[in-house]
Structure 1
Amino acid sequence: MPSRRHHTKTRSGCSACKARRVKCDENRPVCKHCIRRGTECSYPLSSSAIDVRPETQVQDDDVQVSHDAPSGEVFDAMDLMLMHRFCTSTSLNLFPSLNQHQQHVWQIVVPAKAESYRILRHGILSLAALDLAVNGEEIAQSTTPKSTYHARSLHHQQISLSLFQDLLKDESNDAKEVAFLFSVMLAILAFGSIHSVDAAPTTNDVFDHFALFRGPRALWQFQSALSGEELVESLFPGGRVHSPRDGDSDDKPFPELDALCLDSVCADAVAVIRRAWIAVQLQPDNIRAMGYFPAMMSQDFCKQAREGRPNALTVMRYQVPILKKFENIWWVGPWHKLLESAIDGVAHRVGI
């Protein structure tokens, strides 16, 4: 009888694997078990990490120290490289045709604001890691696999999401601006993360990530609470998406949708997709128009699409050509193909 394979016990696995009593592969910052399960992955502090702590005493009144930085916030050498990547490349390539002022906001103002807000520090690092997961082959002599950058992006995204709810409870204007800024980051992360890995996403993955874009509804619903349209335009370029003018029925896009017997949920979704289409035709680089439909569609409409209701799937298909117009943006990429494949998958499952 062959002898049993001996497994060496390890005490250096992540906390989640220890709690589940399964063997951890100890891949950092996120092990394979946590990536698969979508759970937070944390390790004991090691000497290879940089422990960032606030100063306990400040003598000079002109020096301001962030009171937001918790003891034990850890960054390593890769994180330092990611911050450099964000400031020199990622920040300048998030959106098409950024003007000089918009570049300054993303490259200089946002990192400076991150000194006071932990959520922005992790959001920045998550975006830079996602950028490298998608575009990492551009770095000469890079031996780091895409999966490593994807895992690091997920790690920082998990931390920032855990801080988001507390931030939303803060009623100060500064906190509202930070929440707005992070919601823009979250929209980019939601779109880019699904095609930053080689494995093909499932239909549920596509719908889950598509629904995550609903987070930045604050772009439209709470815009008046921010310090003017200039901030909105700087952080999320593109003109406002307005309702079509009365009397424009002759120019109404997708007239074939009027032949469908729509309930109020799908009728509202049709109005939204038409506004988005008109905005894209008027401003081909209007990134806000691209995200308008996924951000503004109702939860009831999302549910109908997941259930395979024919009218909901028909309406959602009209987002596919809108997404295709923005495929050259690195974090959008092949999303028109992913969404169309997901819709076809649901339709096939329900026998449409």
Structure 2
Amino acid sequence: MHHRRAHTKSRHGCTTCKTRRVKCDEQRPICGNCSSRNETCAYPGTGPFFFTGSQGRRSRRGASSIASSEDRQQSNSESPSFHDFNQLGNSPTTASYAPTLDMKQLELILQWINETHKLPARSEETRKVWEKVVLQEALTAPYLMHGILAISALHLSYLRRDDRYEMWLDIAIAHKNTALTMFSEQLQNISQSNAKAMMSFGGLAFAFSLATALNLDTKEDGPGLNSLTNVFQLARGVQIIVNAAGDSLKEGEFAPLFDITPPDVSIPAHVIDALDKLDQLQAQCSETDPSIDSATYAHAIQRMRRLVAFTFDSPLSLTMAGGWAISCSPAFLDDLNIRRPLALVVLAHYCVFLHMGRGNWSIGSWGYKVFLEITQELEPHWHSHIEWAARHIMSSDP
């Protein structure tokens, strides 16, 4: 008679051993089984780093897998020197010094360098900043590195609608959760030394929020008025960081990100006319309703005028979407939250430019779906003020 060999349960073993249903010796950074089989060894955990010593309850979307600077320093102190490697030869202890590679994380870095860094760029100069300078900043700002890995994983989940889609989405959410936790701890300590990394992360978080909602696309979390207002609140954080850091942030390698000189493109007459009418409407409403802050709306419309050239120069650019969101004043966001009709009319015009950029994987159907909700919120006598928006949104595909 054959008897099943008894063994004690390994509750904190690596995911590879759990998949194989074998006992893990829980050695870190690579367990004995994975070392002998030359397999990737990964431990689940809710902490921000892959080689974490603490084991908490795993989040719904898994955990990230970047080693902390402390872990890296410890690893470096324990790694053999070049002389040591020469002495090791075929010693049975060689395996204990073997470095491990997390191929998924390396693939995400490659994805960032090759493609994803282009998402927030609007020119060749800004593209270079996002590709190299921001990545360099991330080496000393773990939350930014997690943000880069999160948006790159989300991009891969969009590009590869195959059996790895869920895996990349899980990785994206895990990195995002970790990044936000770490980032929030820095918000009370904005300085010149961390402002570049914090501003970069804010821009990525804006794009990530838009793209994530497209993946969820539920009534509560998908594209809609409430979701967009929340994204605007997040985008406002970028302006707060810029204000706190002062002019130093606008100098040096990051200078191209602050150059919003409109490109030399022709703006269609119907767009200029629509924005002129919007200005006239806000002036009329401000005269009849003292609770409306005319300066707030004049600023919002003027900002839209300034950024619209970027949409016609490059429709898939995030410059209008992000630039206008960042500049939204708290007063305007308050009016959106209470569904003030004038604020909804202004937002309907913004939706036209969002809809023009629907080919951007992080924008998609945002403009179309938010506009539909605006039409339901507005009383019929306000609909004449969004006819231009309706004409350009409803006559094309979502």
Task: Judge same fold: TM > 0.5, yes or no.
Answer: yes
1:274 counterpart residue number: 301
Aligned counterparts of 1:154 and 1:225: Cα–Cα separation in 2: 34
| 2:333 aligned to which of 299, 302, 316 | 302
Q: Mark the CA change 1:149 to 1:49 in structure 2 (over 3 Å): closer, same or farther.
A: closer
2:283 counterpart residue number: 258
The question of whether the paired residues in 2 share the 8 Å contact of 1:130 and 1:153 is answered with yes
The one-letter code of the counterpart of 1:277 is M
The question of whether the paired residues in 2 share the 8 Å contact of 1:173 and 1:225 is answered with no
Residue 94, structure 1, aligned to residue 120, structure 2: yes
Residue 215, structure 1, aligned to residue 217, structure 2: no
Aligned counterparts of 1:75 and 1:191: Cα–Cα separation in 2: 31
Higher normalized contact order (CA 8 Å, seq sep 6+, divided by chain length):
1
CA offsets, 1:290-344, max 9 Å, x none? 3343223333432332333323322322221232333333222222113213323
Instruction: Give the alignment of 1:222-237 within 5 angstroms.
Output: 222=244, 224-229=246-251, 231-235=253-257
Aligned counterparts of 1:339 and 1:328: Cα–Cα separation in 2: 16
Residue 187, structure 1, aligned to residue 213, structure 2: no
Task: Report the CA distance between 1:175 and its aligned residue.
Answer: 0.8
SS of 2:73's partner is: coil
Q: Mark the CA change 1:41 to 1:335 in structure 2 (over 3 Å): closer, same or farther.
A: farther
The question of whether the paired residues in 1 share the 8 Å contact of 2:195 and 2:249 is answered with no
Residue 131, structure 1, aligned to residue 155, structure 2: yes
Task: Report the CA distance between 1:205 and its aligned residue.
Answer: 3.0
The one-letter code of the counterpart of 2:205 is L
Instruction: Give the alignment of 1:1-352 within 5 angstroms.
Output: 42=58, 53-56=71-74, 76-96=102-122, 98-99=123-124, 101-137=125-161, 142-145=162-165, 147-197=166-216, 199=218, 201=222, 203-218=225-240, 221-222=243-244, 224-229=246-251, 231-235=253-257, 238-239=260-261, 252=276, 254=278, 255-260=280-285, 261-263=288-290, 265-283=292-310, 284=312, 285=314, 287-347=318-378
Task: Report the CA distance between 1:90 and its aligned residue.
Answer: 0.8
The one-letter code of the counterpart of 1:190 is S
Aligned counterparts of 2:353 and 2:255: Cα–Cα separation in 1: 20
The question of whether the paired residues in 1 share the 8 Å contact of 2:304 and 2:324 is answered with no
Q: Mark the CA change 1:123 to 1:50 in structure 2 (over 3 Å): closer, same or farther.
A: closer
Q: Mark the CA change 1:50 to 1:107 in structure 2 (over 3 Å): closer, same or farther.
A: closer
The one-letter code of the counterpart of 1:88 is N
More helix by share: 2
Task: Report the CA distance between 1:272 and its aligned residue.
Answer: 2.5
The one-letter code of the counterpart of 1:134 is Y
The question of whether the paired residues in 2 share the 8 Å contact of 1:126 and 1:156 is answered with yes
Q: Mark the CA change 1:78 to 1:187 in structure 2 (over 3 Å): closer, same or farther.
A: same
The question of whether the paired residues in 1 share the 8 Å contact of 2:336 and 2:343 is answered with yes
SS of 1:116's partner is: coil
Bigger radius of gyration: 2
The one-letter code of the counterpart of 2:373 is A
Aligned counterparts of 1:252 and 1:83: Cα–Cα separation in 2: 45
Aligned counterparts of 1:232 and 1:272: Cα–Cα separation in 2: 25
Aligned counterparts of 2:297 and 2:334: Cα–Cα separation in 1: 16
Aligned counterparts of 1:290 and 1:297: Cα–Cα separation in 2: 11
Aligned counterparts of 1:269 and 1:310: Cα–Cα separation in 2: 14
The one-letter code of the counterpart of 2:236 is R
2:93 counterpart residue number: none
The size of the alignment, in residue pairs, is 285
The one-letter code of the counterpart of 1:272 is H
The question of whether the paired residues in 2 share the 8 Å contact of 1:49 and 1:75 is answered with no
The question of whether the paired residues in 1 share the 8 Å contact of 2:120 and 2:319 is answered with no
The question of whether the paired residues in 1 share the 8 Å contact of 2:147 and 2:175 is answered with yes
Give me the CA root mean square deviation.
4.0
Q: Mark the CA change 1:135 to 1:119 in structure 2 (over 3 Å): closer, same or farther.
A: same
Q: Mark the CA change 1:296 to 1:50 in structure 2 (over 3 Å): closer, same or farther.
A: closer
TM-score by length of 1: 0.66
Q: Identity over the aligned pairs, expressed in percent?
A: 18
